[in-house]
Amino acid sequence: MKKENLRVVIVGAGSSYTPELIEGLSEHRDVLPVKEVVLVDINEERLKIMEGFVKRFCQHLDYHVDVWSTDSRKEAFIGADFIACQIRVGGNKQRIFDEKIPLKYGVIGQETTGVGGMFNALRTIPVMIEIAKDVEKYCPDAWIVNYSNPTGLVTEAVLKVCNVKMAGLCAGGMRPRWWAEEALNVKEESIYYDYIGLNHMNFTYNMTIDGHPITDEQFNEVAKKCVTVDQELIHKLHLIPSQYTQYYFHTSKIVSQLKSQDKTRGEAILELEKQIWREYANEDNYEKPKTLAKRGGGGYSRIAVGVMEAVYSQSGKWMVINVPNNGTIDFLNDDAVIETACFVSRDGIKPIGLKNYPKEVVGLISAVKNYEQLTVEAALTGDKDIALKALLAHPLVREYDIAKPLLDEMLEAHKEYLPQFFKDE
C-alpha cells in the first residue's frame, strides 16, 4: 500500500474511544497521509454527536481531514484503506448480563473471559462477518483493524469465513514492553520478547534489552507491574502473565470479589458514559472529556495506528497481534488464531517463531483454545449442543450441572442478539 489521501473508516464510531483513535491518527500525520475519516454506527444519535465532536476535536488538534458520517457501510467502504472496528453488539446493557448471570452459578462473570466472553463472541461474530463480507465486496485491499472484543475469537471466525486482511488487536500484547520501558527506564524499541498464548491468556518470556537477556533483578521489576497475579507465582513461573490470567490462577478469590461488588464493571461504565456523552454533545467542548480517563482500556490508538503505519510505510514494525498460528505453536492447529509477536509490514503480518516455550502453560492454553474453537463453531452454526460443549471445555465452567442451566439462561437473556440460535422459532 502506497498512496496519498488515505480513507480511514471507523465502524462503531459511537464508541467513546473514537477520539483516541483520531488523536493517534493526528499524532502520526507525517507518516499516515489521511484525507478522510468516515464514522459509521447504527446508533444515529451517538453518531451525530460524535461527528460534531470529532470535527471540533480535529480543529483543536489542527488536523486537516474531511470528517463525515453515514449508516451505509457501502458508502463508507468504497475507496477505504483501513476499516477500524470497535463494535459492541448489544452495548453495555448486554454486557451486564455477561457479568451478572454467571455469578449466580458461582463462575466468573467477565466481558472477555469465561461464559461472558463466550456470549460476547456469539453476539459479535455474525455481525463482524457481515462487515468483513462488505469489505470483500467494496474494498478488498483494505485492512480490517479490529478492536471488537473478544478479539481473538472474532479474528478466528472472520478469517475462517472471509478472505480479508485483518489484524486482531489488544493493548495487552504490548503492555510487557511498556512495563519494561517504565520499570527499567529503557527505550521501548530496545525491548523484545517471546510471547505465547491467546488473547487474554498469554505469557511473556525471554525478554531482552538491546539483544541482551534481562537479569533476574530486572525481571522482578517488570513483574511488579502485573498487579493482578500473585508475585510469588510470577517468580515461580518466571513468566510475565496477562493480567487476565488472574481469573484462572485466583478463580475463587475473584468470584468472591465480583459477588461482593455493588455494581458490575458494565453498570459502572453505563453511568460513566452518560457524563462522557454529555461532554461530547457540548458544542463548546473541543477537547477529549476528562471523564474518559476513568473509562479504562488505554493503549487502543497506539496499537491501531501502529498497525496502520506498519502496513503503509517502508519500515515495518515488531508488534504483538492476533493471527493464525500456521505452525508457530506446534501443539495448536494451523488455523487457530493465537496472540504472538509478529513482524508487521507492507507484506502483511508474519508471526515470529517461538523458542523453547514454557511447558507448564501448554495445558491451559490448549484448553482455552479448544473452548474458543468450539465457540466459533457455535457462533457460525447456531448449534446449542456445540455451545454446551464449549462451556464444558472451558476450564472456568467445565461442570455439566452448571453449564446446562447457565447456557439456557444466557441464551434467553441475549435472545434478541442471537438469531442464529433461534431460527426455528
Catalytic machinery residues: 244
202 φ/ψ angles, rounded to the nearest 5 degrees: -150, 165
Task: Give the dihedral sign, CA 377/382/387/388.
Answer: negative
Give dist(CA 362, CA 370) in Å, integer.
12
Cell of 200: 487474554
Give dist(CA 240, CA 305) in Å, integer.
25
* Residue in this structure with the C-alpha cell 496502520, named with its chain if needed: 308
**Half-sphere exposure at residue 262, Cβ-oriented, CA atoms within 13 angstroms:** 1
Q: Is 390 helix (H, G, I), strand (E, B) or coil?
A: helix
Contact by Cβ (8 Å): 113, 200? yes
Contact by Cβ (8 Å): 8, 36? yes
29 φ/ψ angles, rounded to the nearest 5 degrees: -60, -25
Query: What ranges make up the beta strands (E) of 138-200?
Result: 143-146, 165-168, 191-198
Give dist(CA 112, CA 170) in Å, integer.
12
Give dist(CA 30, CA 46) in Å, integer.
30
**Half-sphere exposure at residue 126, Cβ-oriented, CA atoms within 13 angstroms:** 15
